[in-house]
Amino acid sequence: MHAPLADAWKVLVDVRRWWLASNPDHSTLEIRSTGEPIGVGTQIFFAERVAGIPGRAEGAITQWIEGRAVTWQGVAVYRHLGLAITIEERVTWTLGSSNGYAELSARVWALFPRNLIGRLGEWYFKHVLNGVERDREHVRRELEYLKAEIERLAV
């Protein structure tokens, strides 16, 4: 993207600015921090839909590499067809630099419970809902929004 790394970092960590607007599947966001800026230990709660399934998540920032990477980790409860499944989730946003410009990526993990309901839920998510590809599209939409927002503010 056409923005310096420092400018990209400022936008990325201003979650209140971009998260809700970045995807129509995002519905609520709550950040509980002992101070500004956010950092390790900041609690973040949100509601969203992934692959059409509504969920509520709560967790905290668990890794913070100033100017380079931030990780949120927590649990989400998704409800579908009368069932609730709790999934461990993690996302790491990473900034790199190429020719003086920022490069942004995101890596998302989701761990279903290893019990019968969790295994069936994972199978249903992957094979019936095409959830892996739909989740990738969800993240791509966030990244495209962030890229546009970073470039707009860097001008």
Q: pLDDT in tens for each of the 155 residues of the chain?
A: 678 888 899 999 999 999 999 999 999 999 988 776 788 999 999 999 999 999 999 999 999 999 999 999 999 999 998 889 999 999 999 999 877 778 899 999 999 999 998 999 999 999 999 999 999 999 999 999 999 998 888 76
**Residue with the two structure tokens 């590809």:** 133
pLDDT at 4: 83
The full set of domain ranges for the chain reads 5-154
State how far the Cα of 59 lies from the Cα of 44, in Å rounded to an integer.
6
**Residue with the two structure tokens 């890596």:** 107
- Is the CATH number 3.30.530.20 carried by domain 5-154? yes
pTM of the full predicted structure?
Answer: 0.88
3-state secondary structure 34-102: CCCCCCCCCEEEEEEEECCEEEEEEEEEEEEECCCEEEEEEEEEEEECCEEEEEEEEEEEEEEEECCEE
